[in-house]
Amino acid sequence: MKESTRGEDGDGTHRRNTGDSESYFHLAVSGQLESAYFPMGPDSGSLFCRYDVVAGPDWELVSGMRSGITQSAKPEGNYRTVVFNMPLEFTMKSTNPYGWPQIVFSMYGNNLWNVETNRGYARIHCPLMGMKRTVRAPLFVPKFSNIWSAAMSWITGVNAEMRDPKILADGSKHKGLATESYGELVVSLQAISRGCNKMGLDWGQSYD
């Protein structure tokens, strides 16, 4: 007797048992936030960094963490480099490439008055399948919109901060934002995919 492929709901109606009938492809990203580099040294004795993974509405986190925070770290011997070596590892799935995952970084440190303040933001796109790369992402700090606020920032050592840094992943939401840059983050990432062929996605090579 042929096994039925239909099940029965609680109300007595029949439905087809298709399991995971939707088509997905998976993207596994791994790497690390290696360090921060400041040409004339950081303005803080120690720094820490928060990261947030941001993706489009069709992307779902399968494993790993969507956000995390590094340990506090101080400059190395040359006083320009702060080493974090923070692991980054997560897997996501999606039905289409729209809203490709990005990672937004927020750097913090104490000023001369020992008050915690923003030391810069940065963002990068996750690499395409099969690629491994090291990125030097510029760090930038938002500028105050008026002279009075800018003067108070200079006196107090407290920089302007973004209420939600994740908007940096959407160009339409931070259009016109005035910033100044100083320093950069060094991030190494690699990506592995599964399920691209069945989705008809072609990255120039086959990685399935």
Whole-number pLDDT of residue 117: 81
All structural domains of the chain: 25-199 (2.60.40.150)
End-to-end CA distance of the chain: 37
pLDDT tens readout for residues 159-200: 767 778 888 888 666 665 767 788 999 999 999 888 777 777
The DSSP result for 42-104, as a single string, is -SSSSEEEEEEEE--TTEEEEEE-SEEEPPPB-B-TTSSEEEEEEEEEEEEEESSSTT--EEE
Residue 112 confidence (pLDDT) above 80? no
Whole-number pLDDT of residue 174: 62
0.85 cut: is pTM over it?
no
Whole-number pLDDT of residue 190: 93
Whole-number pLDDT of residue 147: 72
